[in-house]
A and B are shown apart, each in its own frame.
Chain A
Amino acid sequence: DAGITQSPRYKITETGRQVTLMCHQTWSHSYMFWYRQDLGHGLRLIYYSAAADITDKGEVPDGYVVSRSKTENFPLTLESATRSQTSVYFCASSGPGQAAIGELFFGEGSRLTVL
């Protein structure tokens, strides 16, 4: 099906473990984003990507790693999970724009709990 999908939708892990959240979109959108959402903080940008092999840090990148070897995939890895990374993670994509960012299409979110 067309769209943007995230997996897993729910994940419980322990402190220190590595976790990878997957994001896949079928529109061939150039831009992809990872946000985390916490009560009282709204949506905060972790990393974004303008195209395959081009990624850049957002507001809160520490403790996270991203890659984008293919246009359609943008995985987010927590190399050593901490309790402060317990959050809901949203992936989003946006079509090719000129200077302005176009409409963001969000995935359904991945709820991560770090014990």
Chain B
Amino acid sequence: QQPVQSPQAVILREGEDAVINCSSSKALYSVHWYRQKHGEAPVFLMILLKGGEQKGHEKISASFNEKKQQSSLYLTASQLSYSGTYFCGTQAGSYQLTFGKGTKLSVIP
């Protein structure tokens, strides 16, 4: 079952912050975040493991609430290069990574 992402789309001005949420009905072992630009393959951003670790990547960070099976991706001081579609992928026990439907992020000047 695919995790649910919200919002489906968001428009930001440069310098603004955004939060993308990902939730699952299953007990999760890990959560991945990827970004995909139009016409390209998804690119890895980060992994969060069971245990509620918060990890960062430049100005992008994420958290994982193990009890709620939810993860959030935080983008601060957005840049034009942040535009793209963000996908969370969830792993629940088996060696399958199931992706959400994505959140389209548009950063405008």
Contact = CB atoms under 8 A, between A and B. Distances in A.
Interface of A: 31, 33, 35, 40-45, 48, 50, 56, 58-59, 90, 99-109
Given A41-B101, A44-B99, A100 B91 contact: yes
Contacts of B102: 42
B100 to A, nearest CB: 6
Interface string B73-109: 0000000000000010101001111111110000000
Contacts of A103: 32, 44, 47
Contact of A101 (B30, B100, B101): B30
Given A43-B87, A106-B42, 8 more contacts: A43-B42, A45-B96, A45-B97, A56-B95, A59-B98, A100-B49, A101-B32, A106-B41
A58 B1 CA distance: 10
A104 B102 CA distance: 17
23 contacts: A33-B97, A35-B99, A41-B101, A42-B87, A42-B99, A42-B100, A42-B101, A43-B87, A43-B99, A44-B99, A45-B97, A45-B98, A56-B96, A101-B30, A101-B95, A103-B47, A104-B34, A104-B97, A106-B42, A106-B43, A107-B41, A108-B40, A109-B41
Contact of B96 (A41, A58, A102): A58
Contacts of B32: 101, 103-104
A85 to B, nearest CB: 19
A31 B94 CA distance: 12
A101 B97 contact: yes
Nearest to A33: B97
Contacts of A35: 99
